[in-house]
Homo-oligomer: A and B are copies of this chain.
Amino acid sequence: PLPARSALSAAEILRYSRQLVLPELGVRGQLRLARSSVLVVGCGGLGCPLAQYLAAAGVGRLGLVDHDVVETSNLQRQVLHGEARRGRPKARSAAAALRRLNSAVQYVPYRAALRPRSALRLVRQYDIVADCSDNVPTRYLVSDACVLAGKPLVSGSALRLEGQLVVYNYRGGPCYRCLFPEPPPPDTVTNCADGGVLGVVTGIIGCMQALEVLKIASGMGSSFNRHMLMFDALEGRFRNIKLRPRKADCAVCGDRPSITCLQDYEAFCGSSATDKCRSLRL
């Protein structure tokens, strides 16, 4: 974590005045936000609104991970990247846009995919991780790294007109593998390129992820530990689903884990974390 501070500056009190008056947050909560660091895995449809509201609220440091560059087809939902940023790395484009909104936050862009070799070292440097990725191997990688590093994981996903959100590995709750011990068969997985996604659905889920990160960082606790938020945009309906507890026989967070270091997640899932065309040619 970042160094603790004992007081806010006059400029900070003015800037954050609308949230400082909330009894649930207050100066104490704001000081907690200011010393929190959040790793954002993926600067796409979910990562853009998430990072935007975390920066606006005054978290201390944002790590921004994305190996990709901005493309025209991203602009329909990836609202931090403008037309002029096409061809530029998303992590840097996001950092530049966020700096205009709040220059007091530290931004650390990582222009690379999260990799098994380096993920654990990276995750250890942050207090909270937000999974805004778009593929199955990365979701297992992020979750395992969070379990091994002991960090809460605020995970969002969206496709077509639906979205889902769960907080994993938080206060004794389940991890991603507790819910999904086996990866889905590769040919059952649809990505946003094939299935499409309405941009504002990623906006809604990304904002909900930002809310849960802010609640965890400020000490309010999360509503989605052991619960999944499911959203159906066509019906305008949200459901809160009660999930299983942590599983004692989970391969990574269980009582006798078989996974004690990060693996080859692309082989495990039979699909690629970075290809536009996901299926591994084995």
Contact = CB atoms under 8 A, between A and B. Distances in A.
Given A73-B15, A198-B22, A207-B207, A79 B56 contact: yes
A24 B77 CA distance: 17
Interface string A22-41: 10110000000000000000
Interface residues of A, number: 65
A103 interface: yes
Nearest to A238: B238
Contact of A49 (B82, B194, B207, B236): B207
Contacts of A16: 76
Contacts of A224: 236
Contacts of A24: 161, 234
Nearest to A16: B76
A3 interface: no
Given A83-B103, A198-B22, A210 B203 contact: yes
Interface in A144-202: 160-161, 192-201
A100 interface: yes
B192 A18 contact: yes
A227 B11 CA distance: 41
Kindly report how many copies of this chain are found in the complex they form together. Answer: 2
Nearest to A13: B73
B200 A76 contact: no
Contacts of A235: 223
A191 B75 CA distance: 34
Contact of A22 (B58, B196, B236, B238): B196
A200 B204 contact: no
A99 to B, nearest CB: 9
Interface of A: 11, 14-22, 24-25, 49, 52-53, 56-58, 72-73, 75-77, 79, 82-84, 100-103, 160-161, 192-201, 203-204, 207-208, 210-212, 214-215, 220, 222-224, 227, 229, 233-238, 240
8 contacts: A21-B194, A21-B195, A22-B196, A53-B200, A75-B101, A204-B211, A223-B237, A238-B238
